[in-house]
A and B are shown apart, each in its own frame.
Chain A
Amino acid sequence: MSVIVLKPGLLSTLQDAGRPGHAALGVGRAGAVDGPAWQLANALVGNFSGEAAMECTLLGPKLKFTKTTVLALTGATMEASVDGQPIPLWTRCQLPAGSVLELGGMSVGCRAYLAVGGGFDVAKVLGSRSTDLHARLGHANGRALRAGDELPIGASTSPASAHDNNELTSLPWGVDPHPWFDFALQPLGLSPGKHSHFLDETSQQTLHREKFILSKDSNRTAGRLEGHTLNLRQPLELISEATLPGTLQLPPSGQPIVLLAEAPVTGGYPRIGQIAAVDLPRLAQRRPGDAVCFRQSTLDEAVRRLHEREQRLAKLISTIERRLKQTAH
């Protein structure tokens, strides 16, 4: 049972929760840049063990399913159709064997997640199925998917409905995306970084008051911000130390860079802030050209918000699990 990639879209990769535990060897975590969207797509198809899903960027792929498959699409908004028939997002659909799924360009947001019942069952590398494009780790030596790729699907714990396997069906309910997708491009919480106080006064104000624009040079490693140049009161010569997703760095060009899921494990640029972990998926869903602005926050607030989100997400996932069981009976 497998999926055949007919067209890969702009940049499609397989992602799970990432590859923790190897940073000391120079291996970053990678993983889905919009974690909640990835988790909810999985939950909707009955995957509760961190299965790999497909992360699609700006323009989705065209895929053929050899067997009856359940799938769910979350994250960015786009047209999705099965053999020409539109299917809904943020719910679960069942496709007959031989179906062709076509995902269009994303109209809102930057990244969509496609989960299939049983998950994409490619070999794990260092404990994860995530593709790390920079480190070339994961499926097919860490490259993006391309036409002709055949991806195995794992055994589903949530079997396809037995009523009629030859018909395209979807659940009568779905997940409300609003708590999980930032349609309003809200300001991102920013707590101070080690070198924030080296910013000159104008730059301090610019950072917290002005709108930046996400550059088209952004990728899974980093979001590059344009529109304003920030300056330090004095140049800093720093030695390399560990870096993390969410760190706002200031290279000599003065254009801030936010590290994302595929962040390198070490670096030596001044750190002028840390974006709240709960706001990173929101940043990852911004499109090149979208506005990015910050509001002053603290790490303690970020910890609190992360805890609250994890509780809400866990509750929603257990509700989905319960309702899926009811639907099956």
Chain B
Amino acid sequence: MTRSAALQTSAVLPAIQLEPMAEDALLLRFGDTIDPSLNAHVHAAAAHLQQRFPALEYVPAYASLLVRFDPAQWPSHDERSPHQRLGDAIMAALADLSMAVAESMLIEIPVLYDGTDLSEVATLTGFSIEDVIVRHVAMKYRVAMLGFAPGFPYLLGLDPALAVPRRADPRQRVPAGSVAIGGQQTGIYPAELPGGWQLIGRTPLRLFDVATDVPSRLAPGDRVRFHAIDQATFQRLAEAPSA
């Protein structure tokens, strides 16, 4: 019975490498590729560890999870360093990780598909503009991680036929709300930022707002779906207080 349980675990969870990264940081590496199932493991592990060790800070990425801790709370003991002690505790906690985690949130993002680079994306992919939009709204995406700027989501799940290279000449200012494609990924600029992704549309929703209780509309692991809206709907939503 023990053996079958172990087999099940290894079938579910990839081998995790522990990499001490700084005095107060331990990186859990699940792999080194951008892969939706690997990324799902990262989010499952983060949710599981968050429950077991709520005092630690977790930073999920595509295939890794950074854990930040207070070394004073994990002092060296029996010749084991703080990183070894924390690593052992984490691996023990992950031994009973089940992938049957609660379904993550599904967030709907309305998009006015009028991006500056939409026709270039159509040319690069060989689709009509309408087909680019249809293919972009057809997929379900997952927030692999947030980074680059507060609330900037890196979304996995783009239709491979829509993968286009980043712009050779990045823009100094990409407007807030821009929905963009960069390589195999799609993302949304939460604020005016420099950027090299191809702009296909914009959302009237505010993605990051420190004045709200939950500052980021999207959290790591959330699922995302886009739907197309027209100019009038964009205006109406942009003026709504909840935007």
Complex: A300 Cα to B22 Cα, angstroms: 10
For A266, the closest partner residue in chain B by CB is: B147
When distances are taken between beta carbons in the complex, the residues of chain B under 8 Å from A135 are 149-150
When distances are taken between beta carbons in the complex, the residues of chain A under 8 Å from B210 are 125-126, 137
CB of B15 within 8 Å of the partner chain = no
**Which of B55-63, B97-105, B228-236 is the contact stretch?**
B55-63
Complex: A24 Cα to B220 Cα, angstroms: 7
- Give the contacting residue for A239; candidates B23, B27, B62, B148; CB below 8 A: B62
CB of B118 within 8 Å of the partner chain = no
Are B71 and A25 closer than 8 Å at their CB atoms?
A: no
When distances are taken between beta carbons in the complex, the residues of chain B under 8 Å from A229 are none
Are B19 and A137 closer than 8 Å at their CB atoms?
A: no
- Give the contacting residue for B81; candidates A20, A238, A265, A300; CB below 8 A: A300
Known contacts A24-B60, A137-B150, A239-B62; A266/B23 CB under 8 A: no
- Give the contacting residue for B147; candidates A26, A126, A303; CB below 8 A: A26
Are A266 and B27 closer than 8 Å at their CB atoms?
A: no
Contact with A along B149-163 (1 / 0, CB 8 A): 111101000000000
- Give the contacting residue for B22; candidates A21, A134, A274; CB below 8 A: A274
Complex: A307 Cα to B23 Cα, angstroms: 10
* Size of A's binding interface in residues, CB under 8 A: 38
When distances are taken between beta carbons in the complex, the residues of chain B under 8 Å from A246 are 22
B135 to chain A minimum Cβ distance, whole angstroms, is: 24
Are A264 and B148 closer than 8 Å at their CB atoms?
A: yes
CB of A155 within 8 Å of the partner chain = no
Complex: A162 Cα to B25 Cα, angstroms: 47
Contact with B along A254-293 (1 / 0, CB 8 A): 0000000000111100000010110000000000000000
For A244, the closest partner residue in chain B by CB is: B22
When distances are taken between beta carbons in the complex, the residues of chain B under 8 Å from A302 are 22-23
CB of A27 within 8 Å of the partner chain = yes
CB of A210 within 8 Å of the partner chain = no
Are A239 and B22 closer than 8 Å at their CB atoms?
A: no
Are A21 and B57 closer than 8 Å at their CB atoms?
A: yes
When distances are taken between beta carbons in the complex, the residues of chain B under 8 Å from A241 are 27, 61-64, 66
CB of A322 within 8 Å of the partner chain = no
CB of B12 within 8 Å of the partner chain = no
When distances are taken between beta carbons in the complex, the residues of chain A under 8 Å from B146 are 24-26, 265
For B217, the closest partner residue in chain A by CB is: A25
Complex: A292 Cα to B240 Cα, angstroms: 53
Are B22 and A26 closer than 8 Å at their CB atoms?
A: no
A104 to chain B minimum Cβ distance, whole angstroms, is: 34
CB of B224 within 8 Å of the partner chain = no
A34 to chain B minimum Cβ distance, whole angstroms, is: 17
Are A25 and B61 closer than 8 Å at their CB atoms?
A: no
Complex: A264 Cα to B46 Cα, angstroms: 20
Are B23 and A242 closer than 8 Å at their CB atoms?
A: no
When distances are taken between beta carbons in the complex, the residues of chain B under 8 Å from A267 are 147
Are B22 and A266 closer than 8 Å at their CB atoms?
A: no
Known contacts A239-B32, A239-B63, A240-B147; A307/B71 CB under 8 A: yes
Complex: A238 Cα to B83 Cα, angstroms: 24
Are B151 and A25 closer than 8 Å at their CB atoms?
A: yes
- Give the contacting residue for B148; candidates A23, A26, A307, A310; CB below 8 A: A26
Complex: A27 Cα to B58 Cα, angstroms: 12
- Among B46, B146, B150, B220: residue with most chain A CB under 10 A: B150
When distances are taken between beta carbons in the complex, the residues of chain A under 8 Å from B23 are 276-277, 299, 302-303, 306
Q: Which of A3-42 contact B (CB under 8 A)?
A: 20-27
B25 to chain A minimum Cβ distance, whole angstroms, is: 6
- Give the contacting residue for A244; candidates B21, B33, B60, B147; CB below 8 A: B21
When distances are taken between beta carbons in the complex, the residues of chain A under 8 Å from B9 are none
Contact with A along B1-25 (1 / 0, CB 8 A): 0000000000000000001111111
Complex: A39 Cα to B150 Cα, angstroms: 27
When distances are taken between beta carbons in the complex, the residues of chain A under 8 Å from B25 are 242, 244
Complex: A244 Cα to B66 Cα, angstroms: 10
Contact with A along B112-134 (1 / 0, CB 8 A): 00000000000000000000000
Q: Which of B163-220 contact A (CB under 8 A)?
A: 191, 208, 210, 215-216, 219-220
Are B61 and A240 closer than 8 Å at their CB atoms?
A: yes
Are A306 and B215 closer than 8 Å at their CB atoms?
A: no
When distances are taken between beta carbons in the complex, the residues of chain A under 8 Å from B58 are 24
Are A25 and B63 closer than 8 Å at their CB atoms?
A: no
A sample of 7 cross-chain residue pairs with beta-carbon separation below 8 angstroms, ordered by A number, consists of A24-B60, A25-B150, A25-B208, A26-B208, A265-B147, A276-B23, A307-B72
Shortest 5 CB-CB contacts between residues of A and residues of B: A266-B147, A242-B66, A26-B146, A242-B59, A241-B61
- Inter-chain pairs besides A24-B57, A240-B147, A245-B22, 14 sampled, C-beta below 8 Å: A22-B215, A23-B66, A26-B147, A26-B208, A135-B150, A239-B33, A240-B145, A240-B154, A241-B27, A242-B21, A242-B25, A246-B22, A302-B22, A306-B23
